[in-house]
Structure 1
Amino acid sequence: MIKKIENDKKVGNAHIKILYPGSVIENSTDSGLGSIGRIDHANIGGNVTIKMHPHINDDILSYFRSGHAVHTDSEGFQATVSRNKLMLMKSGKLFYHEETMPEPLEGLQIFIRPKSKDLKPEVVFQDLNETDSVDSWRLLASPKEQTQLQFSSETWIYDTKLTNGKTIELPDLPKNELTGLLYVFQGNVVLNNDINLLKGESILFKNEQIEINALETSELVLFITDENSEYYDDGMYSGNKH
């Protein structure tokens, strides 16, 4: 199964485009895709503050590619998130935070469903050794100890910067019968010499061999989920919206 998601399948506003990956699946009653609740593509001007606000039962990965944001939370902790520093905020039962963006920022806010409700809140940061993973997949977050950023649900996130003219296949996945979403953050690629994807477009796939060719240097994010595993689909933002 391969299904393309066009740019116009997103909702939101001029600054944040929201992708509910399950909304394009025929006869689906779930706005998410397994443990992948929703993906926000943010493009925000500078001098913006999103005031202190709550999250409940969402695991949120901040993946910024330009600009930075200053995170402040209800525990009194403050840190700067940027293209070289990722943040995974596991809100659990209840967590408050605020974001200040002093300069223009573009990136993804990725809402992942936790394994179960009302887990203990936690915020984890990851400094990246390299800003880009050029022409190879980099595992950013997983449910296992192989990454510093760990989800409670069976979810994996990879990225790569595929240079113009290069070809890449999917990484070796951790187990069989997994479902994926490939998202083009920047660029222009062709899949299996057939499907063209531009910035903001994506595909859903399951049980497919996929070869990706870059028509220009492109930034790709790969989401993998086990739809048969346990996850809580009533989070504040990651929850089912149907």
Structure 2
Amino acid sequence: MLTKIDSAIKYGKQHGGFGIEILYPGLALPQLNDTGFSTIGRMDHARITPGTLIPMHPHRDDEILTYLRAGSVQHRDSEGGTGIISNQKLMMMNAGEKFRHEELVLEDAGVLEGLQIFIRPQAAGLKPQVQFHQLTEIYSRNQWRKIAGKGDDYPLQIRSNTWMMDMRLEAGSKTVLPETSTDDIAFLFYVLSGEVQVNEDLSLNSGESMLIEATYPTFHALKTSDIVLFITQTNAPHFDGGMYSGNLQ
């Protein structure tokens, strides 16, 4: 089953230089009675002007991936962690039982654009931790790249049966979903920028996405497109009461 999610389903927020579009993927399937989709709770597509400070604030029971495509951020958190996040240095905050952080968008790197993704952990009350990962290249051209997930072959660890990959699919190129060895799998395919044709009759533009269950479509880039892909095991245990990843219904 293919379920297209267009931008109309998103919630927009703007405050000064801080602007986000919030995707609750479960809203595309109202029969679920869940704003999330299995382990995928929420995704924020952010555009933030340089010099903006997002002050210290709490998180609880969220697995939070910061994935930037432009701009850079100075990070500081309650676990004593600091670091610069950019389109080549990504961050995973495993918030657990108690966690606080702040982010300052740096002046010299231009407008920030990227995703903050809230994944549901396998259980509540886990120990908080912060992970960073340096990419060797900004883009993975026409090939799925492992970013975050459960297992030693993923550089950033997610504490539930969830996996995230990315790709820059160049104009005219085609791809398919990666093979998985796990049962009861579903996908969320998100076009961060560009335009992608799905099979022969659907298209996804920048900011649009698709839930994919029990089928393996072909993707054709009509324009060079930056894509992120989430894989979730739908029958795996997860906690849906996180501060941001939890079900709002």
Where on the TM-score scale, by shorter chain, does this alignment land: which range?
over 0.9
What letter is aligned with 1:93?
E
Q: CA deviation at 1:13?
A: 1.4
Q: CA deviation at 1:142?
A: 1.3
Name the Cα RMSD after superposition: 0.9
Native 8 Å contact 2:81 2:130 kept in 1? no
What corresponds to 1:11 in structure 2? 11
What corresponds to 1:90 in structure 2? 94
Q: CA deviation at 1:27?
A: 1.6
Q: TM-score, normalised by structure 1?
A: 0.98
What corresponds to 2:45 in structure 1? 41
Native 8 Å contact 2:146 2:155 kept in 1? no
What letter is aligned with 1:94?
K
Which whole-Å deviations, capped at 9, do the CAs of 1:128-177 have from their partners, x for residues lacking one?
A: 01110000101111111111211110001010000010011111123232
| CA distance in 2: counterparts of 1:221 and 1:58, whole angstroms | 19
SS of 2:168's equivalent in the other structure is strand
Q: 1:76-115, aligned counterparts within 5 Å?
A: 76-102=80-106, 103-115=110-122
What corresponds to 2:213 in structure 1? 206
After the TM superposition, list the runs of 4 or more consecutive aligned residues in structure 1 that deviate by more than 6 angstroms.
Answer: none
Q: CA deviation at 1:211?
A: 0.5
Q: TM-score, normalised by structure 2?
A: 0.95
| CA distance in 1: counterparts of 2:79 and 2:209, whole angstroms | 36
SS of 1:13's equivalent in the other structure is strand
Which whole-Å deviations, capped at 9, do the CAs of 1:34-59 have from their partners, x for residues lacking one?
A: 10000000011111000000100000
Unaligned 5+ segments in structure 2 are none
SS of 1:27's equivalent in the other structure is helix
Which whole-Å deviations, capped at 9, do the CAs of 1:112-142 have from their partners, x for residues lacking one?
A: 0011001000000110011100001011111
Percent of aligned positions with the same letter in both sequences?
A: 44
What letter is aligned with 1:66?
A
Native 8 Å contact 2:75 2:82 kept in 1? yes
| CA distance in 2: counterparts of 1:122 and 1:76, whole angstroms | 10
Deviates more, 1:146-155 or 1:34-43: 146-155
Q: 1:133-148, aligned counterparts within 5 Å?
A: 133-148=140-155
Unaligned 5+ segments in structure 1 are none
| CA distance in 1: counterparts of 2:98 and 2:183, whole angstroms | 34
What letter is aligned with 1:72?
R
Kindly tell me: are residues 174 and 105 of structure 1, through their superposed partners in 2, closer, same or farther at Cα, counting changes over 3 Å? farther
| CA distance in 2: counterparts of 1:75 and 1:218, whole angstroms | 36
| CA distance in 1: counterparts of 2:239 and 2:183, whole angstroms | 22
How many residue pairs get matched? 242
What letter is aligned with 2:230?
F
| CA distance in 2: counterparts of 1:68 and 1:232, whole angstroms | 31
Of 47, 71, 76 in structure 1, the residue corresponding to residue 75 of structure 2 is 71
